[in-house]
Amino acid sequence: MLFYKFQKIENPESFAKEHLKFCKKLGVLGKVLVSEEGINGSISGTTEQTKEYKKFMHSLKGFEDVFFKEELSEDHSFTRMFVRLKKEIIRFEKPVDMLNKKGKYIYPSELLELYKKEEKFTIIDVRNDYEYKAGKFKGAINPKIKTFRQFPDFVEKIKDKKEEKIIIYCTGGIRCEKAGVYMEEQGFKDVQQVHGGIINFCQQYPDTIWEGRCFVFDKRLMTNINQTSPPISECELCGELCDLYRNCKNHNCDKLVIMCLNCEKKMNACCSKKCLQEFREHCSQKAILKQGRKQEIIL
């Protein structure tokens, strides 16, 4: 489940401690960020556990209307549970009045209708570049940013679009919420965000105007949306069409890379020949150290 809410929290430290205590008692796994501006979380658990979690969240003052984006999975999407205290629930590093302002929504059915009618609008992906590579809405602009903190730099480049109808989107909605308010503060006249983000849209209208897959920040890396459509991304090593993201096995690199199964086998899941060499050297050193420990025990 993905969720967020911009809502003033008077004592975020105490809120975070109580939240973690409840989550551990319930047995759910995931990542929750808490700050004075609200909460941002991703949770995995059984049907009963997630029902109890939603009930708990909706019982908190100010969080009665939290909207959960849900997906079914055969296993946990996370390996542990933590709740962290942050300055922002989505890091932006620009002052945005999220407690007194709210983004404007366009609902999935309305967005689909815009495409069908071929109305004039600009659609912008506010996610990171490596997320855009894996999947996007048809015709969406790629800001080519590595982190959300770079989005204001992109906004500077499109000031000529202030009078245009602009649609923005992200995975679950939180980045759009802040980006939309920021753009309005910068003078953009008509900015709307896709309600519930990519996850919500593709659950309602799969295999329509979304191309490829959707990157997620848990151990799955990719969601199962649009299972019948072909991938739009390519293996970064051989160029074959592929939608499998993985981290380079060389821990000194750990780069996110799109890699097909053949290249994964050939390269030991390393993103380059240099990383493969470093990985093999590291494995050899570990083997030598391990053998040395065995000899010491024998002696």
State how far Cα 53 lies from the chain centre. Answer: 21
HEC-encoded secondary structure of 169-201: ECCCCHHHHHHHHHHHHCCCCEEEEECCHHHHH
Q: Give strand pairing partners of 215.
A: 222
Q: What is the mean pLDDT of residues 155-180?
A: 97
23, part of any domain: yes
Higher-confidence position of 296 and 219: 219
Please identify which of the residues 23, 170, 214, 242 carries the catalytic annotation.
170
Average model confidence (pLDDT) for the chain?
93
Residues 28-75 have pLDDT tens digits of 999 999 999 999 999 999 999 999 999 999 999 999 999 999 988 888
Both 195 and 292 in a single domain?
Answer: no
> What tokens were used for 249?
């096995």
With beta carbons less than 8 A apart as the criterion, state whether 259 and 242 touch: yes
Residues 106-142 have pLDDT tens digits of 999 999 999 999 999 999 999 999 999 999 999 999 9
Lowest-confidence pick of 83-92, 220-229, 279-288 = 220-229
219, part of any domain: no
225, part of any domain: no
256, part of any domain: yes
Identify whether 170 is a catalytic site residue: yes
Both 111 and 196 in a single domain?
Answer: yes
171, part of any domain: yes
* pLDDT for 120: 94
pTM summary value = 0.88
Which of 33, 56, 85 is the last residue before a domain boundary?
85
100, part of any domain: no
Number of domains comprising the chain: 3
222, part of any domain: no
> What tokens were used for 201?
């849209």
State how far Cα 264 lies from the chain centre. Answer: 24
What is the CA angle 145-151-155, rounded to 5? Answer: 120
Residues 93-113 have pLDDT tens digits of 999 999 999 889 999 999 999
Distance from C-alpha of 29 to C-alpha of 50, rounded to nearest angstrom: 10
72, part of any domain: yes
Residues 201-247 have pLDDT tens digits of 999 999 899 999 999 988 888 887 766 778 899 999 999 999 889 99
Give the structural domain span for 286.
234-299
**Among candidate residues 47, 57, 46, the one with its CA nearest the CA of residue 3:** 57
Both 68 and 131 in a single domain?
Answer: no
Both 111 and 205 in a single domain?
Answer: yes
